[in-house]
Amino acid sequence: MTVQMTVQAPLASCNVFLDLLAREAAPVEFEEPVASARAAGATPETLAQLEAAKLTALRVSAGMRRQARREAELTALFDLAGDLAGLRDLDAILEAIVRRARRLLNADIAYVTLNDDECGETRMCMTDGSISAAFRRLRIPLGDGLGGLVAQTAMPYSTEHYLRDPQFRHRPFIDAAVAEEALVAILGVPMRVGSRVIGVLYAANRTERPFAPEQAVLLGSLAAHAALAIGNARLLAETRATVEELDAVNGRLRARGAAIERAAQAHDRMTALVVKGGDAGDVAAVVTEVLGGTLYVLDAAGRCLVASGEAVPLAEDDLPAVTAATHPRGGTTRHGDLWITPISTPGEVLGTLALRTDAGLDDADRRILERAALVTALVMLLRRSPAEAEARVQGELLDDLLDGKVGERTGGGTGGRTDAWAADGATGRTGGGATDGFVAEGAPGLEARIRRVGLERNVPYVVLSARCASSRHRGRAAFWAASYAATAHGLAAARGEEVVLLLPGDVPGETARRVAKELGAALAAPVTVGAAGPVRDLSGVPAAHREARRCADTLLALDRMDDGADARELGFVGLLIGAHRDAKGFLEATLGPVLDYDARRGTSLVRTLETYFGSRCALSRTAERLHVHINTVHQRLHRVSRLLGEDWQEPERALEIQLALRLHRLRS
């Protein structure tokens, strides 16, 4: 009976250990069966058997715990792989990795750094458990610190005390950030894509709590999953960026294709307008319909011919920029909100297109504007051919007038007057009385030519002689003059070095200055214009032309370039060059008020002036010669100042007055 009980005791104790294993008891509970048997007085053999069973049970318990921990780790890795598979954002992937690493390794902090090969550094990308802002902002040169050692060797590395470990290269700013984070034990494992290390995954403790080898293996598994997910995220980001870039390129290509198609359609429309006989205004309307804004079409003189679109006048301040941009080889230029392109042929600028728009113009829009300039140039050239033919008709008539072939008096009459406007069809009359008509050409033919060029009846005309500074401008000057004369209902002709104009008007000097200014602006060169007239009879055109020529010659001799005047405006010089030597007109213009005052009042202002100038403007000597008191001389000269103006003693006017006084004495 005693032997049987002795055998059953160890068996019961072994069942106890099995029960402890079944309920996964703590290791300390496996000591209780041995302690109970020793207290009950069990034999040494029984105690030895119980001790052996305990040790076996503890080994089995430890294996079970390791297996459970391994299963938990595998489950965590499986869950992490599932989580990472569903993430596309890199920051979200890194956040999931460091959070899982910190929990699985029961670490105080987990973090990850990624290498930037272009910058030659590795930067802190994500942390979990960090308390230091400086640590989260770390950027470390490649090869420095514990991470540099891990990246270079591509092997895990752990240290029990980071700041005292000599196995890697320390940097003061790295050690300061680690000290601020209070890190002591650190484990780092490489994250590899193929053979390339892209970063390092870390787990760290703030006490000297080293990491076991199995923890390094576990963190390495996490790093492998992280590297794969990061590579996929980067590949996806690169693919997305490539797709977006391709979409942008396709969008630009589509926009460019649409712009080219729009430009081609606009060009086709403008070309069709030319075929249908459209003008520059029709072309401008197409441009503003396509590009918007306001399009101004200016001629070579800078005058606005057409304004299409919003009716906003072209500012005077914009004209210099528009003129400066008109070069035969120039493209489209910008001045503020104006886009300017020249209307030109290979050797001549015909005008300018100026588009005012708040929106910018891309290359295709500028091509539309430049094509519009080309089509406008074609329109102008097509219009020029009839204009040149008309100019030839005008020039031939004016040439005949200047040469005296039209407007000569018929013989046989005395005191008769030639009237080109009242010709009644007869080639001339003979016999007594007045004679009307022209022997060189029948009146009906002359009347037809006059009607054709648009000359008006009963209107005074002035004759202008325009001179260009350079001979290369004469062709353009002749064309401009023909256009100007046609618009003004006059005539124009090029004769040698001059361009002659016959224009309606009765103020020759003012007309000459206006033509000099506008023609000079069109040619961008000085133009000098002499004028004569007005004439009311075509027979007076040759004489007026000769006077206008002499006036232009005088202006050039006086270096009055880029100016215009008539003989009367040149003072005594005009008296010398004038066709009719209008001495009376010169006297009236210079001394008229004084002469009238003496005639009405019976005074001696003229005699006083003669004596004053003859006495070298000395008041006392003048008084002696006139036998009057000096105050009387003062009063008379004061009266002259009121009649002629306070500037009558200025050198230029004084010379004119002395010449007029001498002429008055001679006439008297």
**Residue 111 reports pLDDT greater than 90:** yes
- Whether the CB-CB separation of 219 and 203 falls below 8 Å is answered with yes
| Cα–Cα distance for residue pair 162/180, rounded to 1 Å | 13
| Cα–Cα distance for residue pair 608/521, rounded to 1 Å | 49
| Residue 127: per-residue pLDDT | 93
| Residue 615: per-residue pLDDT | 84
CA dihedral 68, 69, 75, 81 (to 10 degrees): -160
Cβ neighbours for 560, distance < 8 A, ≥ 6 positions apart? 528
What is the average per-residue pLDDT within 133-141? 91
User: Residue 406: which pLDDT band, with cuts at 50, 70 and 90?
Assistant: low
| Residue 184: per-residue pLDDT | 94
Q: What is the 8-class DSSP label of residue 472?
A: G
Q: What is the 8-class DSSP label of residue 506?
A: S
pLDDT digits (tens, 9 = 90+) for 622-632: 888 888 898 88
Q: What is the DSSP string of 528-583?
A: EEEEEEEESSGGGHHHHHHHHHHHHHHHHHTT-TT-EEEGGGGTHHHHHH-SS--H
- Whether the CB-CB separation of 545 and 402 falls below 8 Å is answered with yes
Both tokens of 177, joined, read: 């950030």
| Cα–Cα distance for residue pair 32/58, rounded to 1 Å | 13
User: Residue 386: which pLDDT band, with cuts at 50, 70 and 90?
Assistant: low
324 vs 160 pLDDT, higher one:
160
527-535 and 461-468 strand pairing: antiparallel
388 vs 283 pLDDT, higher one:
283
163 vs 85 pLDDT, higher one:
163
User: Residue 321: which pLDDT band, with cuts at 50, 70 and 90?
Assistant: low
DSSP-H helix ranges across 558-650 = 572-577, 583-601, 605-614, 619-626, 630-644
304 phi, psi to nearest 5 deg: -75, 120
| Cα–Cα distance for residue pair 419/436, rounded to 1 Å | 6
**Residue 174 reports pLDDT greater than 50:** yes
pLDDT digits (tens, 9 = 90+) for 342-369: 887 766 777 788 888 877 777 777 788 8
Locate tokens 């000079």: which residue? 520
User: Residue 218: which pLDDT band, with cuts at 50, 70 and 90?
Assistant: confident
332 vs 201 pLDDT, higher one:
201
| Residue 394: per-residue pLDDT | 60
109-116 and 121-128 strand pairing: antiparallel
Residue 592's closest CA among 626, 633, 640, 635? 640
| Cα–Cα distance for residue pair 223/190, rounded to 1 Å | 7
pLDDT digits (tens, 9 = 90+) for 490-528: 888 888 788 888 888 888 888 888 888 888 887 778 888
pLDDT digits (tens, 9 = 90+) for 41-66: 888 887 888 788 878 877 777 776 66
| Residue 410: per-residue pLDDT | 38
**Amino acid letter, residue 105:** L
- Whether the CB-CB separation of 401 and 541 falls below 8 Å is answered with yes
| Cα–Cα distance for residue pair 196/216, rounded to 1 Å | 20
Share of the chain above pLDDT 70, in %: 76
Quick count: other Cβ atoms within 10 Å of Cβ 615?
17
- Whether the CB-CB separation of 482 and 501 falls below 8 Å is answered with no
User: Residue 2: which pLDDT band, with cuts at 50, 70 and 90?
Assistant: very low
Locate tokens 């588009």: which residue? 355
| Residue 306: per-residue pLDDT | 74
| Residue 98: per-residue pLDDT | 87
- Helix, strand, or coil here: 354? strand
**Residue 173 reports pLDDT greater than 90:** yes
What is the average per-residue pLDDT within 177-199? 91
**Residue 469 reports pLDDT greater than 70:** yes
**Residue 466 reports pLDDT greater than 60:** yes
Hey, which of 12-26, 273-287, 326-340, 623-637 has the most confident mean pLDDT?
623-637
Helix axes 363-402, 541-557, angle to 10 degrees: 120
What is the average per-residue pLDDT within 100-107? 85
Both tokens of 492, joined, read: 């124009």
Count H helices and E strands in the chain, helices first. Answer: 21, 16
pLDDT digits (tens, 9 = 90+) for 575-592: 444 445 556 666 676 777
What is the average per-residue pLDDT within 299-317? 68
pLDDT digits (tens, 9 = 90+) for 447-456: 666 666 666 6
182 vs 582 pLDDT, higher one:
182
User: Residue 7: which pLDDT band, with cuts at 50, 70 and 90?
Assistant: very low
Residue 465's closest CA among 408, 394, 398? 398
**Residue 181 reports pLDDT greater than 90:** yes
**Amino acid letter, residue 147:** G
- Whether the CB-CB separation of 544 and 532 falls below 8 Å is answered with yes
| Residue 78: per-residue pLDDT | 58
| Residue 547: per-residue pLDDT | 81
Hey, which of 77-81, 84-88, 451-455, 518-522 has the most confident mean pLDDT?
518-522
- Whether the CB-CB separation of 145 and 131 falls below 8 Å is answered with no
| Residue 422: per-residue pLDDT | 39
What is the average per-residue pLDDT within 590-609? 84
Mean pLDDT check: name the lowest of 387-396, 456-465, 517-526: 387-396
**Residue 326 reports pLDDT greater than 60:** no
User: Residue 388: which pLDDT band, with cuts at 50, 70 and 90?
Assistant: low
Residue 419's closest CA among 436, 442, 432, 395? 436
| Residue 236: per-residue pLDDT | 75
| Residue 415: per-residue pLDDT | 37
User: Residue 206: which pLDDT band, with cuts at 50, 70 and 90?
Assistant: very high
| Residue 81: per-residue pLDDT | 59
- State the average pLDDT for the chain: 76
pLDDT digits (tens, 9 = 90+) for 243-274: 888 888 888 888 777 777 777 777 777 777 77
Cβ neighbours for 273, distance < 8 A, ≥ 6 positions apart? 282, 283, 286, 375
| Residue 74: per-residue pLDDT | 57
pTM: 0.37
| Residue 653: per-residue pLDDT | 76
State CA 149 to chain mean position distance: 56
| Residue 254: per-residue pLDDT | 83
What is the average per-residue pLDDT within 22-33? 76
Hey, which of 177-181, 324-328, 433-437, 661-665 has the most confident mean pLDDT?
177-181
Q: What is the 8-class DSSP label of residue 333?
A: E
